[in-house]
Each structure stands twice: as structure tokens, then as C-alpha cells.
Amino acid sequence: MLNISPMIHTPAAPVSGRSVRKFHRLVSVAGASLICALTGGFLTQASAQQSVPSAFQQTPDTGSAAQASAPAFKADATAPELPTLGEGMLISVNKDMITSYDLKQRMLLLIVTSGVQITQENYESFQQQAISSLVDERLEQQEMDHWKVKVTDKEIDQEIDRMAQQSNLNATQLLAELKKVGVEPATLRAQIAAESGWNSLVGGRYHSNAQVGSAQIDSLMDKVIADGQKPQYLVAEIFIDNASAGSPEAAQKGAEQLYQQISQKVAPFQAVARQFSKAPSAANGGDAGWLVSGNIDPAVEATFKTMEPGQVSQPIMTKDGAYIYLMRQKTDGNADMVMRLKQAAIALPANATEADINNAQTVLASFRAKTSSCSALDDLGSRAIPGSITVNDLGETQLSTLMTNYADALLPLKEGQSTAPLRNSQNVNVLFVCDRRLAGDNALKREQVQNNLVNERLSMLGRRYLRELRSTATIENH
């Protein structure tokens, strides 16, 4: 049995770690993402981001952060009262019409799922947002029809079942609760069909364009590991941009209105982000992931340093608009790492002479100069290894479990590099880094990084696709 205990320090604790003519878009996540607020994010905004693989799910919140980001939809919700809308046709999108009934249904869904209370100040914004989302949905459906993309009733039923389960309801109960507040089942089904079909269309047309090479993945993996040694902040965000709001003053005012409703626990952060944020993260309830110190606006990071998990920041003004942040988790960096190692060792007892130690170090240094990586070790035949050297596969080892001199020597190394000869009580050895990653359940792995890069490209291509459809469409007010 291989014994690596001479290199292990005991005890040790691993350290874990998103214009259509008159209808300018008010927010980036109206429409398909509205339903997301019912269950905390089972669907993504069709025009903004493709479905996230199961291996790339959001980091769960705990404590007050979990309460702050809870879904907005609740059973027995009260139907909101809307001003009377005129009957008839409102907008034509190419040959399709948006009626006053369509608008009322979408507004009811938007209001109920965001949790925000309607006031004289924000009613117009809700109406404009509903119009924008309906226009986009018509354009998406027309493109799906052109490419003969179909979504079956069975697929829609499965999505409703999944929505209901995440809301601790069954499908019948969920549809009944929505009907109580005036949202018809057909409205929900049509929206699921449009979003699912659009995702399929974008993925099918652009998936090959979204592939990434191994060099790009390697580069990002190195950055992920380097960032693990810096302070990090897991946040959710709401971004109100100056352009959509009309001015910096309007953006700040809108952000302050939303902050008041969030801070008074009238509306959950997650639901508000989906409906109002201009950031790409809006489709995932504002989940911006881990932000790394040094890559953050100094004014924003100064606020982060004072926040505790579960706290919501007051609006922070930047040159582009206003941000509101929910602090979900934070870490001071110095993340632990897991490395897959091989060793070349010369056995020496604890009482070996200085001459024997120096000789072993010289032999190993020469061997290392000719064989610098794990792949080079694999290519060696037994005859190419000096008789005094034993080569072993040590498997995966967490740095925090190793002796300080070994952990310090390995920490700066990348895949394919090796240490200088090191001494422990049983041998002199050289360690070869075959692979490395951050430790912890939430640490990104290579497959996850690749999936994330592909999803980011699909997201960008999907948004561009929809912009092209808007630019060539005939959209008129009636």
C-alpha cells in the first residue's frame, strides 16, 4: 500500500468555497421569464440565456439570504386590481395582433409573480413592460413557425408539473391558484410553449457556433483557480440602466422605489430582479455568481465589504445606471485546492546522512529536468527510470492536508509542472501536478466551465437573433 502520510499534516481542515419602435424595452427579462418567479427559476429567459445544465445550478442560499431570495408566488394570493383597459386590438406585430385581453393577462402575471405592489408611480412601467414582453413573444413564435419548431402538450404538462413541485403544489393546484388571481391556464401554457420553443430554436441553430476550444477552457480554469485566492462575494443583482430609464435621475428613482419594497419585505429580491433588472443575470433571479476582488467597481466593493449575508444594499449609482445587491455569501479568499499528483521518490530513512540526502536530491533534479510532467512520466518505460527512483500515482490530495512546505511548493504550480526535490521523514521526492481544481462542493470543474462558456455564447447569439427580428419587423400601435 502506498503511504503518503509523511507529507500529510494532521490535524487539518479543508477550506471550502442579462427597439421595437414605440415600444422601447423597459427591462431585459419581461415575458418568458415571468413564470420563473413562481418557483425560483425553473425556466430561463428565452431571449437571454439557454437552460443551465444540472451541474451548473445556483449556489443555494442559507439563513437570511435564503429568506431574502425566496420565490414571490404564494398560494391564496390576492388578485390585483387593474384600471379598466379598452377592448380590442392594441398592437400588430407583423401579421399577429396583441389584444387588450392579452395585455391584461400578462400584467396580472407580472404583478403577481414579482410581488411588487402597484402604485401610481409604477403602474405605467408595469404596462410598458408587459407590452414589450408580448411583442418579443410574438416575434419568437413567428420565427418558430417559420422553422417548424413545435412544443408538444406533453412537454408543456411536464414543465407545469415541475413548476408546481417546486412551489410545493401539484399541477392542478398551481393552475387553480393562478386562476384565482385572474391568470388563465391558456396564458401560462402559451408562454411556456413560446419560451421552450425559442430555447430549442436558438440552441439548434447556434450550438455549433457556441463551442469553445480547450485552450480557452484551460485559460479560464487558471483564472478561476487564481481568483480563488482573493476575497469573493456571491451576490444577486438588480440593474436599472440609465438608457432604458431615460436618465440617471430616473434610474436612481426607480431603483429607490424597488429598494423600498424589497427592504420592507413587500417583494422578494429574486422575483423583482427577474422582472425589472437590465442585467443578463435577470433570467436567473439576479444571480451574478461569485464576484472577485479587483474585478469589481471600487465603489461597489466598498459596499460589499460592509455587508453581511442576507443584507440588501441601497442603490449604488455607476456611470451606466443604478445597482441593488443582495449579499448571498462571502469569503476572504485563500481557497483550498485539490491536486491530482504523481511522485518520483528515493527512499531515505529519517536519520539519513546529509551526503545521502544531497545525492538523492541531485538524482531527482536530473530526473525532473528530463521528465517534467505527468504525461512525460506516463510515456516513460521502466528501463528509463533510474533504479533508485520509485514512481507512484498519489491520486487527488487537498493542499490543506499536506505539510506546510509541500503545500507552499504546490500552491503556485499549474497542471504539467512539478516541485523541486522535497524532503520528508521517509524519502526525498518530486511531485508532479497532473490536474488541479478548487476544493469544495461549489468549486467549478472543467466540464462546468465549458458548459458556462457555451451558455454565455448561446445567450449572446440568442439576444442578437431577437434584435435582428425586431429590426426587420412591422410593429404598429392601433
Instruction: Decide if 222-334 and 337-438 have a common fold.
Output: yes
Distance CA 187, CA 14 (A): 50
Average pLDDT, the chain: 80
**Encoded amino acid at 184, one letter:** E
Q: How far is CA 158 from the centre of its chain?
A: 24
Q: With 0.85 as the threshold, say if the pTM is over it.
A: no
Tell me what pLDDT residue 117 has: 80
Each domain of the chain, given as residue ranges in start order, spans: 32-214+457-477, 222-334, 337-438
Other C-beta atoms closer than 10 Å to the C-beta of 210 total 19
In sequence order, what are the residues at sequence separation of 6 or more whose Cβ sits closer than 8 angstroms to the Cβ of residue 306? none
Class of 222-334 in CATH = alpha beta
* 282 contacts 273 by C-beta, under 8 angstroms: yes
Quick one: average pLDDT of 75-97? 80
pLDDT confidence of residue 232:
85
- Give me the mean pLDDT over the 364-384 stretch: 84
Class of domain 337-438: alpha beta
Q: What is the pLDDT of residues 258-311, one digit of tens each?
A: 999 899 888 889 888 987 888 878 878 899 888 878 778 888 999 999 999 999
Residue-level pLDDT at 119: 80
Per residue in 329-364, pLDDT (tens digit) is 998 876 788 999 999 999 999 999 999 999 999 999
Residue 465 has pLDDT above 80, yes or no: yes
Contact 344, 361 (CB under 8 A): no
pLDDT per position as a tens digit, 135-164? 999 999 999 999 999 999 999 999 999 878
Query: Per-residue pLDDT averaged across 100-129, rounded?
Result: 82
Whether the pLDDT of residue 78 is over 50: the answer is yes
Least confident of 95-109, 133-147, 160-174: 160-174
pLDDT of residue 18: 31
pLDDT of residue 132: 83
pLDDT tens-digit series, residues 199-208: 899 999 998 8
Give percent of the chain with pLDDT exceeding 90: 42
Instruction: Please give the pLDDT value at position 40.
Output: 34
Of residues 167 and 53, more confidently modeled: 167
What's the pLDDT at 56?
32
Residue with cell 521517509: 426
What is the CATH class of 32-214+457-477? mainly alpha
**pLDDT tens sequence across 207-230:** 888 888 888 888 877 777 777 778
Residue appearing with cell numbers 436567473: 284
pLDDT in the model for residue 33? 30
Q: What is the pLDDT of residues 227-248, one digit of tens each?
A: 777 888 999 999 998 877 778 9
- Whether 427 shows a pLDDT value over 80: the answer reads yes
pLDDT at 242: 85
CA–CA dist 150, 253 (Å, integer)? 42
Identify the pLDDT of residue 20.
30
